[in-house]
Amino acid sequence: MMPVFPAGRLNDSMNSGEIQELQTAAIAEIAASGDLSALDAARVKYLGRNGRVQDILLALREAPVDQKRELGRLANEFKNSVQAAVDERREALQSAASVAAFDVTLPGRWPHRGTRHPVTQIIDRAVEIFGQLGFTVADGPDIETPFHNFDALNTPANHPSRDPKDTFYLGDGTLLRTHTSPVQIRVMQSRQPPVRIIAPGRCYRPDTTDATHSANFHQVEGLYVDRKVSLADLKGDLTYFARQMMGPNVKIRFRPHFFPFTEPSVEYDFSCHVCGGKGCRVCKQSGWIEISGAGIVDPNVFKAVGYDSTQYTGYAFGMGVERIAMILLGIPDIRMLYDNDVRVLRQF
């Protein structure tokens, strides 16, 4: 049976010169193809199932016996060299395309770096500063007994802070601690003086949330018990703390106050670090920023934990962490600390 060839081929009979000419033309055309689809069209045109290579094979088949050997060699050389030209051109076009696709002016991908939360930063710094004064860190549970949160802190059952309106009670009579002061009790129950601890942690009060209040906030509690600890020690240590935390020019002010667990009690203020004490929006024109309470440990507290108040005295303090974070970092609204908006948190 006669093989079927595309029209125009049947009578073609190529000689060796024509094969070589075709080979030269094919390689030139392939080398000149401007993109991958042009290259593929050229490949099909020369090496495809209906391509020009078939003409050569036909010529080979029909050639007289004495020419078959030479034509066979030329046919092989045609296929190999044209295929090599295709491969080479394809590689060149592909690498040019990948260079073009790579924009060296694009900024690189930045690894996402986390930051410590501002509240954590202030706590870490407070731990560091009091560490320089010989304080170690103590911890206590967020869910407390009324004994640790109130009674042992000389806060009797009729005290207003025990009212359910001011405290989150849980069903079994325990409560979410309203301050970090119960950690003082737990520490003193578990060891003898001298005691020098700070206790950073979370506190809970049913406050209505606004720019300066949150039902969940943080304090750093401090307790120093030894022989002859006085208000002068308290003032000196808190002044040192203030200078380390706020800068060397900060002043500290004590005002008389009342807390059940200290006698005498004070509230202490830092001079406003924004205006230096002249009065501005941050300190509400007063020149001072209230940081928190402190005092000399009430003998009734020592009695509750079995310390001998004729031998030992101590000072205690509890300061608001968010307060310090807000004034130090210039955060105008306490809620920004809890929204978990990384655009805010990433700035510190």
Question: Interface residues with ligand DAH (CB under 6 A)?
Answer: 179, 181, 221, 259, 261-262, 292-295, 316-318
The DSSP output letter for 291 is E
**First-to-last CA distance in the chain?**
87
* Nearer Cβ to ligand DAH (52/323): 323
Contact 226/193 with Cβ under 8 angstroms?
Answer: yes
- A 10 A CB-CB count for 46 gives 24
Q: Which residue type, as a one-letter code, is found at position 152?
A: A
In the complex, the smallest distance separating the C-beta of residue 317 from ligand DAH, rounded to whole angstroms, is 5
Whole-number Å distance between alpha carbons of 128 and 115: 18
* Nearer Cβ to ligand DAH (278/303): 303
Query: Phi-psi category of 113—alpha, beta or left, where left has phi over 0 and alpha has psi -120 to 50?
Result: beta
* Beta-carbon contacts of residue 52 (< 8 Å; ≥ 6 apart): 22, 26, 45, 46
Closest CA to 155 of 185, 127, 125: 185
* Beta-carbon contacts of residue 295 (< 8 Å; ≥ 6 apart): 234, 257, 259, 261, 262, 263, 264, 265, 266, 315, 316, 317
* Nearer Cβ to ligand DAH (181/271): 181
* Nearer Cβ to ligand DAH (59/195): 195
In the complex, the smallest distance separating the C-beta of residue 205 from ligand DAH, rounded to whole angstroms, is 9
> Parallel, antiparallel, or unpaired: how do β-strands 313-320 and 216-226 relate?
antiparallel
In the complex, the smallest distance separating the C-beta of residue 278 from ligand DAH, rounded to whole angstroms, is 28
In the complex, the smallest distance separating the C-beta of residue 151 from ligand DAH, rounded to whole angstroms, is 14
Residue 110 in tokens = 């930045």
* Nearer Cβ to ligand DAH (78/307): 307
* Nearer Cβ to ligand DAH (225/327): 225
In the complex, the smallest distance separating the C-beta of residue 234 from ligand DAH, rounded to whole angstroms, is 9
In the complex, the smallest distance separating the C-beta of residue 294 from ligand DAH, rounded to whole angstroms, is 5
* Nearer Cβ to ligand DAH (204/317): 317
In the complex, the smallest distance separating the C-beta of residue 319 from ligand DAH, rounded to whole angstroms, is 8
Whole-number Å distance between alpha carbons of 327 and 309: 38
* Nearer Cβ to ligand DAH (27/229): 229
In the complex, the smallest distance separating the C-beta of residue 223 from ligand DAH, rounded to whole angstroms, is 7
Q: Which runs of consecutive H residues, i.e. helices, occur in the chain?
A: 16-32, 36-47, 52-62, 65-101, 118-132, 146-149, 182-190, 231-246, 299-305, 321-329, 342-345
